[in-house]
Structure 1
Amino acid sequence: MALHHERPDRAPINFRSTDIVAENLGKYYGKSYDELLEYYQVDFREVIPPYVGPAFEKSADGTFYDEWGVRRRERITGHSRDLYVDLNPLGDVEDDDDMDKVLGYKWPTPDAYDYSAVERLCDQYEGYAICGPGIHCEGYHGVFHQLTYLFGMENAMILLMSEEEMMQEAVRRVTDFWVGYYDRLLTASKGKMDFIFYKDDMGTQNSLMINRDVFMTYFAPGLKELCDMADSHNATLIYHTCGSVMPLIPDFIDAGVRVLDPIQTSAKNMDIHVLKEKFGDKLTFHGGMDTQQDLPNLKPDAIRELTKETLSVLGKDGGYFFSPSHRIQQDTPLENIDAMYDVALNWNEY
């Protein structure tokens, strides 16, 4: 109902956190991760086909090469356990003279995943909104971000501005991977998967990471291709793009995006009142509960009031999936998490 802008009995609820936060919550309540999702009455479940390609062999220094050929390193901080890019395999590409390095690169294949259990897993989660990987998964990054991992952030930015022919070849190959991956996933689900989650950050804290011309030239066509492919399976693409992305939202909608995530309210010009007024009839919003400033720093009573405001604004007339704006971090008090979900579950006066 919420997806179709009809008001449900309550907003559908989702959960996401770092694995350390999930572990701490599980220990505190004596619950497994699945039991924790039940405790918070989370309406979404994720189905992830296992990777069955060549093994990722760890070096003595703890690094390994992922399926894209990017060297990664796991780092554990006080707040999270994450994978960082340690080496960009196409970082020495400088101009069109290096086209052969792009064309000859060993690009990954979506056939390196086992989709045979997808339908069974969907059946296991019957009654939930079933989503393809991405909400909680490290490594599922869209075309733009995958280019920054392959070429390096600064180098990718320069090449996008100076070497269009070559970068279009790279964009095509990354896009083909994701279209092929999600098409196989949705086909294997036999119509039982509701959403795919595609994440590709286009914003920074205060502005866009790339200008609109670059987005329209390189990334809008592939986003439309992904949305159209999902639609062909009667599924919906949830588009995750952090930061201050207001100027691109009309283009997201034109590409076929119907659900926008994460609604980073701490970013510039991402006020929920403005977003709902301008785009509420065209988009369903997923997220909105700020994990950057509000959840870690406010008191539980203030979190309760903020949750009510968020539900009142974004949840008016449907079109809202309740969720933190990103993975809840370890500096967030557990009582704030409880306060947020208690209101989402039990308050319905909007």
Structure 2
Amino acid sequence: MFMNSRERVMAAVRHQKVDRIPMFMDCTTLDVTEALIKGVGCQTEEEMHKKLQIDCRWCVCMDDFISRNAYEEGTFIDMWGVEKTVYGGIPAAHPLSHLESVEDIENYDHWPSPDQIDYDKYIEKMKQFQDYAVFGGMWSPFLEQATMLVGMENLMMLMYDDPELVDILLDKIVGFYLECNRRMFEKAGDLMQIYFMGDDYGTQNSLLYSPDMFRRFIKPRLKRLYDLAKSYGYVVQQHSCGSVVKIVPDLIEIGLDGLHPIQVSAAGMELKEVKRQFGEQLYFAGSMDAMHLLIDGTDEEVEERIQETMSLFDNGGFIFGPSQGFLPEIPTERIIKMYELGYRYGNKEEK
């Protein structure tokens, strides 16, 4: 049974048999992308994706949140009024670090408007990829955005000292993302299939926030975003780096379909164990160890891991890719080989 890329991905996320396990691409920097384009002998990113048999296409709105105009040497101001470093987007200052009252939120003069987003740019991009599974919507990292505005330590302290103020702040941010997503979904219709949103809740060893704090501040707001996407018929895929195994049942409870990127080097995130616990309720996207194995492992170890990974998923439930975006430290040839091996060992027609 031959499937096109969209059919293959949608069968996989529905835990149905596929002709081969679908694959996605995730590069952290333009340098990595350009090296891959050159490495496979192509001229464009799309040609490279086709040559490596990539089944998913990224049409998620993130770029509009970062102004490309440098503010000073090495920094710029994003649309939320946060000064960041050009490389890495690290905040140089937190404009609401003084947050003490509702008036501080109301008087802040850099709240973005949904009118600032160029939705049509993403819709036109989606139209080019109708044989592929399209990841779309707004990235919607409302917790990260709160930490950018207030500062992580300040935000954590406020969660204990003034939780109602944190509620108002988070609702302000989530309200923006809900309206942006609503507008995007109205325009996109069936041009996209998977709502892909992201925020980071885990560290290498555990959660950034306790399960109780997650349930108090994050879970109900995630549900609003999930519910909106579900009302338009989209599959919901959540990104979070780190060890998030303790909150996966909560994510399932509020309607999550797929978890990305399965950071296998983090505590409790070994793919086989995560699949054992949650594989009937979720599909998984990612898992190839981009922090250690792809950088330091031998060719034999990489191939063995790919073969083992693909053997776990004979009945869908998986999209093959890295455990984080590919880093510049990973040899280009190894990334190319990873997808060649993924194509070979993920082929279910020959089994």
With structure 1 as the length reference, what TM-score do the two structures score?
A: 0.90
Pairing 1:161-180 to 2, within 5 Å after superposition: 161-180=160-179
CA shift for structure 1 position 341: 0.8
SS of the equivalent of 2:242 reads: coil
1:137 matched residue in structure 2? none
Q: Is the Cα–Cα contact under 8 Å of residues 51 and 113 in structure 1 kept in the other structure?
A: no
CA shift for structure 1 position 185: 1.1
1:29 matched residue in structure 2? 40
1:88 matched residue in structure 2? 94
Q: Is the Cα–Cα contact under 8 Å of residues 60 and 196 in structure 2 kept in the other structure?
A: no
1:264-284 CA distances to partner (integer Å, 9 max, x unpaired)? Answer: 000011111111111000001
CA shift for structure 1 position 335: 2.8
What is the rounded CA distance, in whole Å, between the counterparts of 1:28 and 1:121 in structure 2? 25
Q: Is the Cα–Cα contact under 8 Å of residues 15 and 317 in structure 2 kept in the other structure?
A: yes
1:15 matched residue in structure 2? 25
2:74 matched residue in structure 1? 62
What is the rounded CA distance, in whole Å, between the counterparts of 1:260 and 1:326 in structure 2? 13
Gaps of 5+ in 2: 1-10
CA shift for structure 1 position 316: 3.5
Q: 1:119 to 1:166 in 2, by over 3 A?
A: same
169-178 vs 41-50, which deviates more? 41-50
CA shift for structure 1 position 57: 4.4
SS of the equivalent of 2:191 reads: coil
1:121 matched residue in structure 2? 125
Q: Is the Cα–Cα contact under 8 Å of residues 119 and 190 in structure 1 kept in the other structure?
A: no
CA shift for structure 1 position 190: 2.3
SS of the equivalent of 2:214 reads: helix
What is the rounded CA distance, in whole Å, between the counterparts of 1:54 and 1:2 in structure 2? 33
1:192-220 CA distances to partner (integer Å, 9 max, x unpaired)? Answer: 21112111111100011000111111111
2:245 matched residue in structure 1? 246
Gaps of 5+ in 1: 76-81, 135-139
1:38 matched residue in structure 2? 50
SS of the equivalent of 1:288 reads: strand
SS of the equivalent of 1:86 reads: coil
Q: Is the Cα–Cα contact under 8 Å of residues 51 and 112 in structure 1 kept in the other structure?
A: no
What is the rounded CA distance, in whole Å, between the counterparts of 1:73 and 1:269 in structure 2? 33
Q: 1:57 to 1:192 in 2, by over 3 A?
A: closer
What is the rounded CA distance, in whole Å, between the counterparts of 2:63 and 2:35 in structure 1? 27
SS of the equivalent of 2:71 reads: coil
| Amino acid across the alignment from 1:121 | K
1:317 matched residue in structure 2? 315
1:53-108 CA distances to partner (integer Å, 9 max, x unpaired)? Answer: 99664233232210111111113xxxxxx221111110122x4xx32111322321
* Overall identity of the aligned pairs, in %: 32
Q: 1:53 to 1:72 in 2, by over 3 A?
A: closer
Q: 1:218 to 1:52 in 2, by over 3 A?
A: closer
What is the rounded CA distance, in whole Å, between the counterparts of 1:341 and 1:53 in structure 2? 31
SS of the equivalent of 1:59 reads: strand
| Amino acid across the alignment from 2:55 | D
1:242-297 CA distances to partner (integer Å, 9 max, x unpaired)? Answer: 11111100001011111101100000111111111110000010111111111111
19-28 vs 289-298, which deviates more? 19-28
SS of the equivalent of 1:131 reads: strand
Q: Is the Cα–Cα contact under 8 Å of residues 50 and 114 in structure 1 kept in the other structure?
A: no
CA shift for structure 1 position 110: 1.9
CA shift for structure 1 position 120: 3.5
Give the total of aligned pairs: 335
Q: Is the Cα–Cα contact under 8 Å of residues 36 and 336 in structure 2 kept in the other structure?
A: no
Q: Is the Cα–Cα contact under 8 Å of residues 137 and 181 in structure 2 kept in the other structure?
A: no
2:216 matched residue in structure 1? 217
Select which of 331, 340, 343 maps to 2:338: 340
Q: Is the Cα–Cα contact under 8 Å of residues 284 and 319 in structure 2 kept in the other structure?
A: yes
Select which of 90, 105, 122 maps to 1:102: 105
What is the rounded CA distance, in whole Å, between the counterparts of 2:48 and 2:65 in structure 1? 31
CA shift for structure 1 position 333: 1.8
Q: 1:16 to 1:118 in 2, by over 3 A?
A: closer
What is the rounded CA distance, in whole Å, between the counterparts of 1:111 and 1:311 in structure 2? 44
- What do you get for the CA RMSD once the two structures are aligned? 2.0
| Amino acid across the alignment from 1:324 | P
CA shift for structure 1 position 176: 1.1
What is the rounded CA distance, in whole Å, between the counterparts of 2:47 and 2:302 in structure 1? 24
Q: 1:118 to 1:335 in 2, by over 3 A?
A: closer
1:2 matched residue in structure 2? 12
